[in-house]
A and B are shown apart, each in its own frame.
Chain A
């Protein structure tokens, strides 16, 4: 007796979160069943392995059918075929677009091309994430990139609008798109210790302050491409990286200016490099700069008067990128 066909279709589509996770993680039906058995579900429910197998198959089939819709989340909302409560729809989308930290670190800043896709099996071996899952994540990055690439308006908003992601996830995707677009190489040894969160934070600040959108909100790609003129100007800052004396001078000047005005002064002084980066990222062609509680105008050698400096007010632990920023822009 073999089962030729075995399906279950509910008026409300049943979504099992655990199975969804296994599916997203790229496990085959067989592996998923084994994992579920190990989770002790059989004992809890008194079911047999055959039942579990059939249930898993069924869920996998459902997810497979839903996948087409998940590629364009607004479709999932408007389609009529699967009746899914809104909360479940949101869960499906959010989980589908979620990514592994380890994976994103590998591809961040790389061109989202076929070539990179071919390297996915190496990444899979390296990170221990199944190839299937790597592909899904890579395709997600690529899909989001393609959709928002040529769009006007805020990057985060665009991602959110077209993929219905939560605010947090949309910001992460904005960072990924930004890095991919500008090909910042994040895979260098020196940068290995930085987490995706660190990069995402940088990306956010850069989008805010360095891009075309920071100057003019009516241009295409406003949050994607950096302001060319600004980049030119930024080269002036290289001097801070290249010349140790100037760097020290800069440090002392900033510290003098801020002494007594900042609660976190000692930390800043200790981590000046880090703060410097954040400072740098907060720099932008916008007048006045976005965040500047002190309103302090820094008078650093090599800086034109149009630069204002924002003191580091957040994320002192963000990571010391100063030296590396130089590399970023080389």
Chain B
């Protein structure tokens, strides 16, 4: 299907001097798309050329439109020698391919050179005429919208959430091709940039195809990553959540159209079937499976659990009008509890060195595969019991057999595998109200692989198989937690030489099935009414069977509704649900850990790593748990554990936001016990430490305003028998005895968390617990979207990236010293941030995202990206007081809100067609007036400033403003190299300038699309390599985000009054795509 791409080169400015003699430049431009190239005339002797070219027209397939970037090269004409390149601009034209986004790309783009950085700017106009009929695509998937945002984008409504989509593309890395020996670094960098741009275009197109196949029209939570595997190639992979989105301003008439396909696929999105092969029926039948008995879940529950009891046990989920559907949280969604379930497994697949002549043909067969499957079950609350010390039983191979059984069952009939239903994963971290029913806990899986050359880039089977394995494992872990889905799902890799750790993690959850089929407001309302779910605590209730708990945990009745059981701690990878009742404020909690490892080669190395991993996971969790208790909190959100592999060490960094959930029990303190009680001074020391710990907890409670309503013993005691009867959830044999012991435990547990100090190491651990300094007053920090307990954001935001690299002195390389260094590095980095941003107080660092890499033997690199948002302190005080009340009230008002919500948005969100009103807003915002600082401007005549302000934020929203339009995804990859490192200010100067340039290029692209902000911005990769001896350095950066137009709420009111007609615009094409 052809489309016509039109490009016009208008002008250039601030070009570098290319001709030393005249101090001027004779510039011209080459415009290349696919294999076609056009050239402008040479504009002689100017640093500000005005080409004003004709429209260059490219007639191309839309497949190419999706894959290829538009490449604009600015050159200096030279009569006698070869023309010198000044720099390039790559423009991703994808946003022009769906009608709702941008209609034109027009603006100043920085001209970028991989050796010199930005050298001037060029003004370009790009348009696309698509002559297509959306239904006939085969290879292209124009029209599918992509969002990095991990929630339903603000001006859309989810009609259906289809589920997981993934794709992976591999290629040879140009840097490692033979030709790289003879070409210039510039040529090599550009080849790489271009290849990656092509690959991500292709990847996006392929994912789009899958989405169309599922009858969706959008991908939300799209996360694309590069694995630079070195010799063995370059992998670009992406995951996301396919959805059918509906623009909120579009008339409701479109709903039926969207629904019809969804009806047909009702079972598809949530065919939670863990092993679809056991069903003989095709995708359309499983629905009729009345008491879907979930055999696999039984197979791994060693204790009995029968499916019929399940039904009786699930008062909440039973009343779905359409009868027992697939949804099914198999064993018992309503009871049992779960705190943290962490699981790790290492699978090592190594390839023995095969003779090269064999490899192409037989390698898959010959590959020797070693597979360790070590299951680590970390039950956080299990540790809480005090009985489980370090030696205790953190390692339980409990799941191993379950996994195996699941795998066996799965192996049966692969042909029935319906790919998209294979993994019930969601990359979303925030959900529409009512979507999330219960949360089980964190599930994660890791696997250590040896990289081998990818022989046939068109069939990246090995990489696919690796990920499939991991996902399968995640899925079975979720099942073990009684959950049928995984939310907040993400995948990552860490590569060092030829060893690669693949990691995946997410939060096991039970979702509202209705939403996955047709998320109409009515449906969800109905659902909520029926369920009568206690707001603010429902998601905490355990989804698994209490008697059949996958790990030891303490359960208590929910402190909020007192009807259902809750775990004593809850770890999740998602954002805090909006309806959750939180007491006080949250805070960033980090666990940091290093482990030395011997340098080794290939298999030995991989084995060493897989042996270390379980210990690291265990320690990371112990640390998290301790720190959480120390803060007096009981739940973690946004948990992200990153394990990084280096040549001689492994690093673990876990970040999460701790909060006090009102529904969960008050955490007990931390008790220190010495192993040698007869020593008097030692005793004294211990008691001194104990006091310090207690003081810290008390201080933290005050700091984070954690003062849960006192619940007297009787109150705790009394309501329990009642719900017990009401919910009929007790099993005959365990009724009295079990419940009573539970109760006792929950009381006695108050101080049950025991740290045993048996050696200096343990002592140091305790010390390190206490060394974490809280942020200075006026500062809060979290790694989730918003800070619980603060909801009066003002409009000032500051996104930043900070990078630190430290060199370890090789002398003191012990685990202990290493830990201390790493800990100091992170702490100092945070302190620096607080200091730098002190002018914004009171403010909160949101979405703090740490990444650790080990670029060389003794180097540790930590990269932090976050956004500082100011808030109104006075209001904050009031709201925090009112907060609990408010969120309680919210339960009752929620229903009305649900009804009003879309209507409200319709009235003040801008129409899908960008013209009159949207433009007005855009123009206004892109002028510097937007900053509101204009009147401060002294006498200086800066009024002719033409650079618009573009905000960037890792969050999905902009405080105090409404996103009126999504313009498309920004996904950019840059390489910068230098051979004059010292002259550019050393490594710091080099990287500082490069990151500033990357920001500038992102902003320029957004502005050219007509946007004024990037939301869900993320720096996915920042690979920095230096060679100071050669005065060289190289850095690769990959960033992405969603380009949007936002308008301040106050402005919106004005705009909306001007545009009554605009609201009647026809519906978005989103609906059209699905029909």
Residues in A lying within 8 Å of B, measured CB to CB: 1-14, 45-48, 50-52, 54-55, 57-58, 61-62, 64-65, 74-75, 77-83, 85-91, 93-94, 160-161, 164-168
Residues of B within 8 A of A89 (CB): 942, 945
CB of A1 within 8 A of CB of B802, answer no
Q: A90 touching B991 by the CB < 8 A rule?
A: no
Known: A46-B776, A90-B937. 7 other contacts (CB 8 A): A8-B800, A9-B995, A55-B836, A82-B1000, A86-B942, A91-B938, A167-B939
The answer to whether B804 touches A86 (Cβ under 8 A) is no
- B800–A11 CB distance below 8 A: yes
Which B residues between 806 and 844 are near A, CB-CB below 8 angstroms? 806-809, 821, 824-825, 828, 831-836, 838
Residues of chain A within 8 A of B941, CB atoms compared: 160-161, 164
Q: Which of A1, A77, A88, A167 contacts B821 (CB under 8 A)?
A: A1
B1023 at the interface (CB under 8 A from A): no
- Complex-state Cα separation, A195 to B58, whole angstroms: 67
Q: Which of A3, A85, A91 contacts B805 (CB 8 A)?
A: A3
Q: Mark B109-135, 1 if CB is under 8 A from A, else 0.
A: 010000000100100000000000000
The answer to whether B802 touches A9 (Cβ under 8 A) is yes
Bound Cα distance A61, B776 (Å): 26
B387 within 8 A of A: no
**B13: CB under 8 A from chain A?**
yes
* Contact, CB under 8 Å: A4 / B985: no
- Verify A51–B835 contact, CB threshold 8 A: yes
- Which 7 pairs, one residue from A and one from B, show the smallest C-beta to C-beta distance? A166-B939, A90-B940, A5-B805, A87-B936, A87-B933, A10-B800, A11-B799
Whether the Cβ atoms of A81 and B940 lie closer than 8 Å is: no
Q: Which residues from chain B sit less than 8 Å from chain A, CB to CB?
A: 13-14, 108, 110, 118, 121, 776, 798-809, 821, 824-825, 828, 831-836, 838, 859, 861, 928, 931, 933-934, 936-942, 944-947, 949-952, 985, 987-989, 991-993, 995-997, 999-1000, 1003-1004, 1024
Q: How far is the CB of A43 from chain B (nearest CB, A)?
A: 12
Contacts of B808 in A (CB 8 A): 1
Contact call A8/B806, Cβ cutoff below 8 A: no
Q: Determine whether the beta carbon of A83 is less than 8 Å from that of B999.
A: yes
A50-B110 Cα distance, complex, nearest whole Å: 36
Report whether A166 and B806 are in contact in the complex, using a CB–CB cutoff of 8 Å: no
Chain B nearest CB: distance from A65 CB in Å?
6
Q: With A80-B110, A83-B1003 given, is the CB distance from A45 to B991 under 8 Å?
A: no
Given contacts A11-B952, A48-B831, A93-B940, contact A1 B13 (CB under 8 A): no
Q: Which of A11, A61, A64 has the most CB of B within 10 A?
A: A11
A-B residue pairs in contact (CB < 8 Å), sample of 5: A4-B806, A13-B996, A80-B947, A87-B933, A89-B945
Partner of B928, one of A11, A46, A82, A85: A85
Which one of B940, B942, B952, B988 has the highest number of Cβ atoms from chain A below 10 Å of its Cβ? B940
A75 to B945, CA, bound (A): 10
Contact across chains for B800 and A78 when beta carbons are under 8 A apart: no
Most buried by B among A10, A65, A79: A10
Q: A4-B987, A5-B991, A81-B997 are in contact. Are A45 and B838 (CB under 8 A)?
A: yes
Name the A residues within 8 Å of B801 (CB-CB): 8-9
CB contacts (< 8 Å) of B937 on chain A: these are: 86-87, 90
Q: Which residues of A contact B952 (CB under 8 A)?
A: 11
In the bound complex, CA of A91 to CA of B940 (Å): 9
Count of A-B contacts judged by CB separation below 8 Å: 173
- Contact partners of A94 in chain B: CB under 8 A: 938, 940
Q: Which residues of A contact B993 (CB under 8 A)?
A: 65
Contacts of B832 in A (CB 8 A): 6, 8, 51, 54-55
Chain B nearest CB from A157 CB (Å) reads 10
Residue ID in chain A nearest B995 by CB atoms = A9
Q: Which residues of B contact A7 (CB under 8 A)?
A: 802-804, 988, 991-992, 995
Chain A residues with Cβ below 8 Å from B947 are 77-80, 83
Task: Determine if B933 and A80 form an interchain contact, defined as CB atoms under 8 angstroms apart.
Answer: no
Cβ-closest chain A residue relative to B993: A65
* Contact (Cβ within 8 A) B942 A77: yes
Expressed in whole angstroms, the Cα–Cα distance for A70 and B878 within the complex equals 46
Chain B contacts for A12, CB-based, 8 A:
798
- Chain B residues whose C-beta falls within 8 Å of the C-beta of A168 in the assembled complex: 939
Interface contact A5-B803, CB-CB below 8 Å: yes
**What is the minimal beta-carbon distance from A127 to any residue of chain B, in angstroms?**
27
Write out the residue numbers on chain B whose beta carbons fall within 8 Å of the beta carbon of A164: 940-942
A80 contacts B945, C-beta separation under 8 Å: no
Instruction: Using known A-B contacts A80-B121, A80-B1000, determine if residue A47 contacts B835 with beta carbons closer than 8 Å.
Output: yes
| Contact across chains for A81 and B942 when beta carbons are under 8 A apart | no
> Which chain A residues lie closer than 8 Å to B118 at the CB level?
80-81
CB distance from B495 to the nearest CB of A (A): 21
> Which B-chain residue is minimally distant from A65 (CB atoms)?
B993
A2: B residues at CB distance < 8 A: 806-807, 809
Interface pair B824/A1, CB less than 8 Å apart = yes
A9 and B800 in contact (CB under 8 A), knowing A80-B947, A160-B941, A168-B939? yes
A93 CB, nearest partner CB in chain B, Å: 6
- Of A5, A46, A54, A88, the most chain B CB neighbours within 10 A belong to A5
CA distance A86 to B935 in the complex (A): 10
Contacts A78-B945, A82-B996, A85-B931 given; does A10 touch B939 at CB 8 Å: no
Q: Cβ of B828: which chain A residues have Cβ within 8 Å of it?
A: 50-51, 54
Within the assembled complex, what's the spacing in Å between the Cα atoms of A48 and B939?
A: 38
* Whole-angstrom distance between the Cβ of A55 and the nearest chain B Cβ: 6
Q: In the complex the two chains form, what is the Cα distance from A94 to B805 in whole Å?
A: 35
Within the complex, the shortest CB–CB distance from B140 to chain A, in Å, comes to 32
CA separation between A82 and B942, bound complex, in Å? 16
Q: A4-B859, A4-B987, A61-B989 are in contact. Are A11 and B938 (CB under 8 A)?
A: no
A45 touches B835 (CB 8 A): yes
A1-B821, A61-B985 in contact; A166/B804 too (CB < 8 A)? no
